[in-house]
Chains A and B, each alone.
Chain A
Amino acid sequence: MRLPKLQHERRSGARRTNVDARTALRARLEAHAARRAAGELISLARLVGSPVRDFSGRRVGSVDDITVRWTDQDTHPPITGVIVRIGHGLVHVGIDAVDLHHDRVEHRTKSVIVDTPTRHPGAVALRRDVLDHQLIDVAGAQVVRAADLYIVVAGGAASLVGVDVGVRAYLRRALPGGGPRRPSPVRMIDWAELVAFVPRSVDSATGEEAPDPRAGDTPSGATAGHPAGDMPRRATAGEPADDTPRRATAGEPADNTRSPKTARGTGAARTAAAGEVGGAVRLSVGAHELHTLSGGELTSLMEELGRNQQSGLIASARPTAAAAALSSLDPAARDALLAELDPADQRRLRALVEKESA
């Protein structure tokens, strides 16, 4: 899927000082395409809190989050489901069972299968894990925060296509009645050009970090790889013996789809709410793109990132660039960062840093 490039700000090197006629024409065409595309975009920020209606149009809950699956095969992560808030409880509904609209989610069929939301490898909850979090715009070599995420439904499939990093998009959420009903992205970046950080998975059964089956071509495990399995996975921790996904019908009261109390009471639900392990992060699918960054650019990025993200970045960067970036740090900060890497990576990077210093 190709997304019109609305505006892309490069931090260094390619800042244009003279806008020639050709560029202006291109900008107008892009703006036109962007306006057209904007009408098709579904704003996550707007969707969260919107009503979820059953087949008969009755409200059964509200959207709490949207889940996606990150794989190497998909430039734009496919939406896998919707986490629905029913009373105080949360349930997960697969994307096959619902239609996403700008301001609501509707059950596609008379009955839907719901499941307890849980975090597992390969699955990411957009509101919880990505919205408002730091992302790396690889092409622009800058750190940004996601003010809104945009979803496009095309050919019956929904996918995450872009991120708005503009202050205006954030203010639309922050100010009462702040802005237009439809998204009007101004500083949108194609998801394919971003690297995101998400918490390492937590096994819902044990509460321990789940084995990440991803394998990457970068120095450590903090990288992208392959999906772990299907979504949604059924939770087991604290679940009643009968943990089969429930089928709800249109006429059924909302709390019969899965008791909110049950959902709230399960260990899995609590884990999903807590959801992460000590701030450890892994990188999203575009991590290998970090190999295009130079040492200087890595240094600039690291100055704007939290330390957990810094270690993820270093682990996934080109070793020579990582060593150059590490060389520019204070020895204490460098040691702290290196200590969070795998021993083999530590040794290799230390050797490169010493070589660089020499």
Chain B
Amino acid sequence: METLDRSPAPPPAAPARRPWWRPGKLVAVLAVLGPGLIAANAGNDAGGVLTYASAGAQFAYKTLFLMVLVTVALVVVQEMCSRLGAYTGEGLGGLFREQFSARSATGALVLLLIANVGLTVSEFAGVGAAMEILGVSRFVAVPIAAVVLWALTVLGSYSKAERIFLILSLAFLAYPIAAFLGHPNAKEVFSNLVWPHFPHTAEFAVLAVALIGTTITPYMQFYVASAVVDKGITPAGYAKERVDTVMGAIWSDVVAVFIIIATAAAIGGTGPLQTAKDAAAALTPVVGSAAPYLFAFGLLGAALLAAAVVPLSTSYAIADAAGAPRSVSNSLREAPLFYGLFTFQIVVGAAIALAPGNLVALVINAQVLNGFITPVLLTYVLILANRRSVLGDAVNGSRFRVVATVSVAVVAVLSFLVLLYTVKGLF
């Protein structure tokens, strides 16, 4: 066989250093949990918590039925992504590149980048909001957080900090307790959970899209597929993973529902959330006057955790699709696309979060942006999961296909309606 300029066989190398960050290694201390559970709970980030709290503050319990519908859609979507990861052994970025035309795949990845930049903005806004509760100006806190996160990530010492952020974010587990101690109107809660009580207003529609955007966020779809691959889950072991994914999606939304109920019981009907400190009122039944601090630490942990992982996840997906090096074990020079995208998201996210104005409104707007983009990316996922050439016998069955299509269609229609409201409002 003729070969060109064959380099000599490389000398035996020492085992390669395992990168500390891989899609499936978001939370080392929760490694015992499956990717589906971790991925779904990653959705309860700073943007999610503030959006759920705002829903409770503005519309009390009226968004609960929507959350039930969103949970069904989340289960369907996460399961499809998880299955794609298990059966193809590839993340969504790579699958998009292989299965769609170059233009379609690029369009999807650009949308993912936009959505996740929005998400990164909301995470840094979360950092700012949390630090303002603790008495530190966001104009000081956000730039420092951006520089520290960037340095920790690029220098490879983020893994220990990640655990601290995670422990801080566990403060939000106080919400289920707060939901009970806040003495919500049980009849009203039950009524709103099982039957829609949707106000026919533009404000409600916008918030509904924000709730969809923060719950079925594109980042989670890409994350769960990569995490399943990274954890080495095979088709043979997928049955167990499916349970984990479904339970994770349900648990994630149960926490979200508790956030809405606790906030509604404390400040329901008072209008849109103005500051993050208002949201902390929901935790007062649990810790009394320390509620703002508990909330601030929780928000800070969740925000810092996601502010690094979301840009990393995006960079990973895009570099994967581009066939470029995409590991944090690479140097800056070896992986310019990967680190360039990461840096871009951190810089833009932090810069926009510093813009004057209401931080909570900024967070909600970022979730609305996610809500617009989500149905587009869901369509790609649906197409992949419907392709026998991709999934073989694990392709969507006819019933699942109907449920998945309806879920995506409902999300798309709602987003379209809000878009119409928005455009109409401009004229």
Contacts and interface: CB of A to CB of B under 8 A. Distances in A.
A91 B180 CA distance: 67
Interface in B1-46: 1-7, 9-16, 18-19, 22
Given A307-B229, A307-B234, A174 B325 contact: no
A295 B334 contact: no
A145 to B, nearest CB: 3
Given A5-B4, A139-B6, A279-B88, A307 B232 contact: yes
Given A144-B323, A279-B88, A294-B10, A333 B231 contact: yes
B236 A174 contact: no
B232 A332 contact: yes
**Chain B interface, >50% SS class:** loop
Contacts of B14: 296
A297 B7 CA distance: 15
A30 to B, nearest CB: 10
A167 B13 contact: no
A75 B1 contact: yes
B94 interface: yes
B151 interface: no
Interface residues of A, number: 72
A348 interface: no
Interface stretch (A10-18, A35-43, A80-88, A245-253): A10-18
Nearest to B333: A15
B105 interface: yes
A90 B334 CA distance: 42
B200 interface: no
A55 interface: no
B102 A279 contact: no
A295 B337 CA distance: 26
B105 A174 contact: yes
Contacts of A190: 3-4
B15 A295 contact: yes
B392 interface: yes
Interface stretch (A59-67, A96-104, A269-277): A269-277
B322 A145 contact: yes
Interface in A245-294: 273-279, 285, 292-294
A146 B321 CA distance: 10
Contacts of B97: 132, 145
A300 B15 CA distance: 9
A192 B11 CA distance: 21
B362 to A, nearest CB: 31
Nearest to A141: B10
A278 B393 contact: yes
22 contacts: A5-B5, A12-B13, A72-B1, A132-B105, A145-B322, A165-B323, A192-B1, A192-B3, A273-B389, A279-B87, A295-B12, A295-B15, A296-B13, A299-B15, A299-B16, A303-B18, A306-B89, A306-B90, A306-B229, A307-B89, A309-B89, A329-B232
